[in-house]
Structure 1
Amino acid sequence: MAGTARRVVMFPFPFRSHIAPMLQLAELLRARGLAVTVIHADFNAPDASRHPDLTFVPLHESLPDAVTAAAAAGDLVEQMLALNAACEAPFRDALIRCVARRDGQVACAVVDGQWYAAITAAAEVGVPALALRTDSAATLHCMLSYSRLCSDGYLPIKEETRDEVVPTVEPLRGRDMIRVDGSDAARVREFIARVDDAMRTAAAGVVVNTFVAIEEPELNKIMRHHLPGRPAFAVGPMHRLLAVPEEHGLHEPDGGCVAWLHARPPRSVLYVSLGSVARVDRQVFDEMALGLAGSGVPFLWVIRPGFVADGAPPLPEPMAAVVANGGGKLVTWAPQRDVLAHPAIGGFWTHCGWNSTLESICEGVPMLVQPCFGDQMVNARYVTHQWGIGMELGEVFDSERVAKAVRKLMVGEEGAVMRNKARGLMEKARQSVEDGGASTVAIDRLVRYMLSSKCST
């Protein structure tokens, strides 16, 4: 089988939140009889030992100082632009070598949607390239609408229109549009324009880690208005289609999290984690800590290395006292899926990264949203206003507002309504990955497309 199977070449973007969904898709394709080669950057390389049935090919790219300098400065967009420039030629060469191999004809490439240069390079080599979007369909629709919104004068957003809904991307307001603090706004627009151009001119289709029950209108807009004639496959939540352990990347999870939760009553604990990239300053950290301590709600708080911009600060005394008395637990990393699935968890204070949002939906856990950058702004708006399964903390908050919001989510009537809605979406997510469910059918349809004459070298 391995000698004759058609081969798919995959290229994940080298950020943890992008690598995990790409490898999930790789395993789903392998389980359906396709051979899979994963080309990857040495920068933030995936752990090949966890995927013995996949073939891994490192790029051995030479990264310019701009990549490390941008990372050190917190300039995410400059880093992504530099990565695209540095990895385009090595990817092209690696793909050509894959095509020349004799252990299975290359059917297509699946390239992370942020690799705009690689999507174009694959098409130039003659390999059909499907773009994998590890964010939501709403985010992709927003990105592909940017050029039109700029030409129509809606972007850049003006201060007086920040709270107005933006036409064609409803329910997003001006304040919900994609932005990246720490990056130049013009460079953000340039990056989005390059992604847009690659999607429209070079991508053979798009694969999205979402499910139809929550994003059918957005998927339809992508196919009708942005990528007519090309397929879109909604194949999520992919982590629910696979019975594999969670991958934790650079951080080792605290093994005591789940045991600590065992001693807590059902739906009593607030889980707090702002992801693997977001950073806050000391003042925000102190307000978070004092608000949690003053809420009276038990909490499990992930404070990873680098989370506070100025280094690990001492805990405010009220927070230290609550933790010492067993009312809260602080960890440097947590096994998030296990935590969210635990019956003691009643809410999730989240940055609204798409992986975290999907994982919370899959466990029926309502959210307290604090988006930091990028697609998180879009996701937060959908969580709070489209799906009604969360509430906003606001862009500026103090400890009293934090404590009030935490209590409202965890023990208030409004939180109970959101919890019921979240459980409804959990059931829809479960149905989507059952045999015959929409996402399971989409994966099978994706494989057929990869093997068809419509997607062939």
Structure 2
Amino acid sequence: MINNRPYQEIEAKQPNKPPYKMGEIHPKPHAILLPYPLQGHVIPFVHLATKLASNGFIITFVNTESIHHQITKSRFQSNHHEEGGDIFSEARKSGLDIRYATVTDGFPLGFDRSLNHDQFFEGIVHVFPAHVDELVGKLVQSDPPVNCLVVDTFYVFSSSIAKKYNLVNISFWTELALVFSLYYHMDLLRKNGHYDHFDKREDIITYIPGVEAIKPSDMTSYLQTDPTTIVHRIIAKAFADVRKADFVVSNTIDELETQTISALQKNQPFYSIGPIFSSGFPTSSVATSMWSESDCAPWLDTKPEGSVLYVSFGSYAHTSKHDIVEIAHGLVLSQVNFVWVLRPDIVSSDETDYLPTGYDRLIEYCGLIVPWCSQISVLSHPAIGGFLTHCGWNSILESIWSNVPMICYPLLTDQFTNRKLVVEDFKIGVNLCDKRSITREEVAEKIKRLMCGKSSNDFRKEIKKVRKTLENALAIGGSSHKNLDRFVKDVKAKIRKNH
């Protein structure tokens, strides 16, 4: 039966609050944070919640019941914590005022959202907004009342709900400003024949404001494919809606995307406050993992410094059995030690037998395969010397922070654009496949290029420069630090104006 309960606030003891009279403007902004129901979006939202709470916000963080169930189930399996409960309970002990609630997405917990992808996202567009509306309606009556709505940019309903309840409308973009700009200017891409045309142009794109020349193959996958899917409709609606946002905050850094960000700021307030890590990186007191995490440290502790390749293709995208088999053989041919995170559903939800026969014997001494792990813990281990990645933006930021160069194997969405930055702009990695079909020989060659010799030293030299840029941005007086201060002040001013 579909769950009709609109929302559930998880019971938790809150910090002592001063008496509050209805009608007064509370000195602290109170924001609802609502991430998209995918692991790669929940993680930066959790980090943003702790960052805003550390800067004087009261936060009510809202997960879907499905995401909450997955996270708490994985916590129980990994650490034998009690299932259920408040994922921010530990963070709140440090004095942060972060409340926690869940909301139904309209589907039962047992519904396979990955296998029924299109049906699920149709529900996110047409059913989920009503549940969010009801939740917000209750939370604006809380003590103190909510006055800000911080919603993932990919949601299509934030402006209507913010307007209905007189909330400051804040859009959180979890990816590159470059990707935001490409979606923001889809009308220009369509007008110039690079998108939504039967006979699309393949020449270099030079007309997007603030974006240097970019190849069509470096655009996101959704700007390269049939524009009639549910995801395409979501993107179109979301980027019409984001133009109505009062503020956009982004998990990027001014110095990495100076021209693109400057151009976007001419349209509406856009604040780069990345990288949005928790203050406790590489560990966090807030659970975000949706699968039980294997402990790779004992195995890694036995390997020499910088000798292990970490391999992971993220939490969401699928790939082909052919590519998995070729990568598997390529890893063995490279003769490099590796840790490989292989989700059971990496090929599809209903095909789990995809490795070569007898592969466990082939890798007995050189490889460790796990279904899931704490990525930041593995990347920060001294034994890790490279990362074969799908190029999710979270993964790239974590890899840079850990000084680990990358082999790029993008699968979906923004990952193709992210690859461009890693390989061409930052020069901190290589592209896995220069042809349409992956071969084991090419996999082995790219691994050796990343992990050994002069090219490896060059990558490590460059990635230290990019890591320093991130450090400087986060430091007191750095660009991201100043942008966050300015954002907090501007939000408070907007709240006063609204009241």
* TM-score (norm. length: structure 2): 0.82
Q: Distance in 1 between matches of 2:447 and 2:395?
A: 18
Alignment of 1:237-276 (within 5 A): 237-243=275-281, 244-245=284-285, 247-255=287-295, 257-276=296-315
AA paired with 2:88? H
Alignment-derived partner of residue 307 in structure 1? 346
Cα deviation code 1:391-444 (max 9, x no counterpart): 111242111111111111111432321221111111111222222222222222
1:2 Cα offset (Å): 3.1
Superposition map of 1:382-397 within 5 A: 382-394=421-433, 395-397=436-438
The equivalent residue for 1:203 is 245
- Structure-2 separation of matches of 1:59 and 1:73: 20
Secondary structure of the corresponding residue to residue 175 of structure 2: coil
Aligned mates of 2:303, 2:124 — CA distance in 1: 45
Of 232, 249, 262, the residue aligned with 1:189 is 232
Q: Report the number of matched residues.
A: 446
- Aligned CA distance change for structure 1 residues 59 and 239 (closer, same or farther; 3 Å): same
Structure 1 segment 355-434 matched on structure 2, within 5 A:
355-394=394-433, 395-434=436-475
Moved more, 144-153 or 267-276: 144-153
Paired amino acid for 1:110: V
CA shift for structure 1 position 264: 1.5
2:135 aligned residue: 94
SS in 1 for 2:391: coil
Which protein is richer in helix relative to its size? 1
Runs of 5+ unmatched residues, structure 1 = none
Q: 1:416 to 1:317 in 2, by over 3 A?
A: farther
Paired with 2:167 and 2:124, the residues of 1 have a C-alpha distance of 21
Structure 2, unpaired ranges of 5+: 1-15, 19-25, 73-84, 93-97
Alignment pair present for 1:178 and 2:220? yes
After superposition, the CA RMSD in angstroms is 2.7
* 2:217–2:224 CA contact under 8 A, matched in 1: no
Instruction: From 378, 386, 395, give the equivalent of 1:339.
Output: 378
1:54-95 superposed Cα distances (whole Å, 9 cap, x missing partner): 222323342399x957631444xx643431321212212222
How has the CA–CA distance of structure 1 residues 348 and 72 changed in structure 2, closer, same or farther, with 3 Å as cutoff? same
d(CA) in 2 for partners of 1:348, 1:115: 31
- The two structures have a TM-score, normalised by structure 1, of 0.89
Measured after TM superposition, the shift of residue 180 of structure 1 is 4.9
| In 2, Cα distance between equivalents of 1:319 and 1:127 | 55
Is 1:56 aligned with 2:81? no
Change (3 A) 1:132 1:146: same
Listed as ranges, the matches of 1:25-40 within 5 Å are 25-40=48-63
Could you say which residue in structure 1 is the equivalent of 2:392? 353
Please say which of residues 169-178 and 237-246 is displaced more in the overlay: 237-246
The residue type equivalent to 1:437 in the other structure is G
Assess, with a 3 A threshold, how the Cα gap between structure 1 residues 176 and 455 changes in structure 2: closer, same or farther. farther
1:125 equivalent to 2:165? Answer yes
Q: How far 1:333 moved relative to its partner?
A: 1.0
Contact 1:128 1:456 in 2 (8 A): no
Cα distance between partner residues in 2 of 1:172 and 1:380 = 12
Question: In the alignment, is the contact (CA less than 8 A) between 1:171 and 1:386 conserved in 2?
Answer: no
Give the equivalent residue in structure 1 for 2:10: none
| Aligned equivalent of 2:191, options 123, 136, 151 | 151
Percent identical across equivalent pairs? Answer: 27
Supply the distance in 2 between the matched residues of 1:378 and 1:123 (Cα, whole angstroms): 33
SS at structure 2 position matched to 1:130: strand
CA distance, structure 2, for counterparts of residue 56 and residue 182 of structure 1: 38
C-alpha change, 1:87 and 1:270, in structure 2 (3 Å) is same
Give the CA deviation at 1:328.
1.3
Provide the C-alpha distance between the structure 1 equivalents of 2:199 and 2:448, rounded to a whole number of angstroms: 31
Residues 177, 252 of structure 2: 8 Å contact kept: yes
Kept after mapping to 2: 8 A contact 1:38/1:56: yes
